[in-house]
């Protein structure tokens, strides 16, 4: 289970732009690197991240080897209803991760 942090406020007014930040602990191995013995390090990238808010898809990102280790994403969503902000992702080794945070909209 990959470590991740989803940083978002817990309360918002309806229609407010809510900033959301996500960071996932992951090496994002490109497959181009060698280890200390000169052997290639197997490619292991987070292939996609999906962001959902109250069950609806906000964005879906396909990531490549050009994303830095420990992927970081920042964006803002429009608060319209109370619900969970949820991130899901999967890497090349098939390891899945998710993190969620509740947003109360008044």
The residues binding another protein (CB under 8 A) are 17-18, 30-36, 38, 40-41, 53, 56-69, 71-78, 80
The values of phi and psi at residue 52, to 5°, are -125, 145
Q: How far is the CB of 18 from another protein (least distance, A)?
A: 7
Complex with another protein: residue 42 or 93, whichever CB lies closer: 42
Buried b (16+ CB within 10 A) or exposed e, 72-89: ebeeebebeeebebbbeb
The least distance separating another protein from the CB of residue 31, rounded to whole angstroms, comes to 7
Query: 51, 98 in Cβ contact below 8 A?
Result: no
CA 66 to CA 53: how far, in whole Å? 27
Q: Between 9 and 65, whose beta carbon lies closer to another protein? A: 65
CB of 67 to another protein, least distance (A): 6
């Amino acid at each position: 289970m990959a470590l991740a942090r989803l940083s978002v406020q817990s309360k918002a007014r309806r229609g407010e732009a809510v900033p959301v930040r996500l960071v996932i602990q992951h090496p994002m191995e490109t497959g181009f690197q060698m280890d200390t013995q000169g052997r290639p390090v197997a490619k292991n990238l987070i292939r996609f991240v999906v962001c959902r808010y109250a069950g609806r898809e906000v964005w879906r990102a396909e990531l490549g080897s050009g994303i830095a280790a420990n992927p970081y994403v920042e964006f803002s969503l429009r608060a319209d209803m109370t619900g969970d902000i949820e991130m899901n992702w999967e890497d090349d080794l098939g390891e899945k991760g998710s993190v969620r945070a509740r947003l109360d909209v008044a």
